[in-house]
Amino acid sequence: MNKKLYLTILTLLFSCSKETKYNVVGVIHKIHLSKNELTINHDEIPGFMSAMTMNFKIDPDIDLNQFNIGDSVHFELYIKEHNAFSKNFKLIDNVKIDSTAFEDDFWFEDEFPYVPLDIGDTLSNTIFTNYDNYPFYISSDSKKFKFITFIFSKCPMPNMCPALIFKQQYLASQFSKNNTIEFITISFDYIHDTPKILKNKYKTIIDKYDNWHMLSSVGHINDLMIISKQSMFSFWGVEDNDIGHNMRTLLVGPDMKILKNFDGMDWLPKDAKESIDEFLKVYN
């Protein structure tokens, strides 16, 4: 990745290097000791983001064993460039929470095509709309490898959806001269993220790459449910404007077989590039 491109990405995605602090109020829903993260359903953060459920990276000096599911907490969120972390937690109370409150009923379907798939299984064909308002088919017809990830445009956390955009841009640039792979970013906000909204937000970044496609799921909710369920990408709260989601990215072969997945936020684009290179060699 050349220096000019790197600086361009940082300018577009993380326009200020100054550290900013936000006061947050929320309730803990999950504790991830191995990743040093808490899943918190938080109130609106004025001037920054709407109320939603999401994972927060916690300052490494904080012992997560002190927390319990249902803890109502006040804390400080610090944002700087492409990093975010939380600290200075104050426990207010412990409340009873509904463990299924942030999962759509749809996720309890157990019939094909709404079933999770494993490595080597074949992803179903789906259709979405690109930001130029044309249908885009995710299928074997393209005869290309596909690197698929999921975002929503209102996500403000720099180490979540914006970081995925950064990673996709790096990979799209690295494979810009290789016509056997395409990079696909799907917005799962099937209410807000229309093609026009996605185009207004991402056009200046994505238009530079013929191999990168930003897709809207508005009007394609069934296709969204199929691909998200099969890939084990979970999201909830879209209709309540209280969005939460996990992080999952897929590498899919020309025959639509799932080759590899990248979970969470910590995978590096250089490692993904190495994996893609390896599979390209095997298939060729």
90 located within any domain? yes
Residues 162 and 24 in one domain: no
97-106, 127-136, 140-149, 213-222 — which is least confidently predicted? 97-106
Whether 23 and 110 share a structural domain: no
d(CA 24, CA 73): 8
Whether residue 114 lies inside any domain: the answer is yes
Instruction: Give me the mean pLDDT over the 188-197 stretch.
Output: 95
284/278 Cα distance (integer angstroms)? 10
Q: Is residue 100 domain-resident?
A: no
Q: Is residue 10 part of a domain?
A: no
pLDDT at 183 over 60: yes
pLDDT tens-digit readout, 1-59: 444 444 444 444 444 457 788 999 999 999 999 889 998 988 988 877 778 788 888 99
Question: Which residues make beta-bridge pairs with 55?
Answer: 39
**41 beta partners:** 27, 53
Spatial distance between the Cα atoms of 188 and 193, rounded to a whole number of angstroms: 8
The CATH number of whichever domain residue 39 belongs to comes to: 2.40.50.320
Residue 173 falls inside a structural domain: yes
- pTM here is 0.72
Buried b (16+ CB within 10 A) or exposed e, 158-175: bbbbbbbbbbbbbbbbbb
Same domain, 203 and 146: yes
Q: Is the pLDDT of residue 155 over 70?
A: yes
Whether 7 maps to a domain, the answer reads no
Identify which of 102, 101, 107, 54 has the alpha carbon closest to the alpha carbon of residue 231: 107
Q: How many domains does the chain have?
A: 2
150 and 172: one domain? yes
Q: Are residues 31 and 123 in the same domain?
A: no
Checking if the pLDDT of 62 tops 70, the result is yes
Distance, C-alpha 264 to centroid of its chain:
9
Q: Quick one: average pLDDT of 192-213?
A: 96
Does 107 have pLDDT greater than 70? no
How does DSSP classify residue 61? T
List 126's β-bridge partners, or say none.
138
Residue 4, in any domain of the structure = no
What the block records as the tokens of 55 is: 């994972």
147 vs 205: CA distance, rounded Å = 17
Name the residue range of residue 228's domain: 105-283
Which of 53, 71, 94 delimits the end of a domain?
94
Residues 184 and 265 grouped into a single domain: yes
94, 127, 154 - which closes a domain: 94
Q: Are residues 48 and 152 in the same domain?
A: no
Residues 208 and 111 in one domain: yes
The pLDDT value recorded for residue 230 is 95
Find the CATH number of the domain harbouring 238.
Answer: 3.40.30.10
Are 68 and 136 contained in the same domain?
A: no
* Nearest to 5, CA basis, from 184, 224, 174, 210: 174
Looking at 94, 116, 139, which one is the last position of a domain? 94
- Residue 190 in tokens: 């099937």
Strands (E) in 178-227, as ranges, are 181-187, 212-216
Residue 258 lies in a domain: yes
Percent of the chain exceeding pLDDT 70 equals 88
Q: Mean pLDDT, to the nearest integer, of 165-173?
A: 96
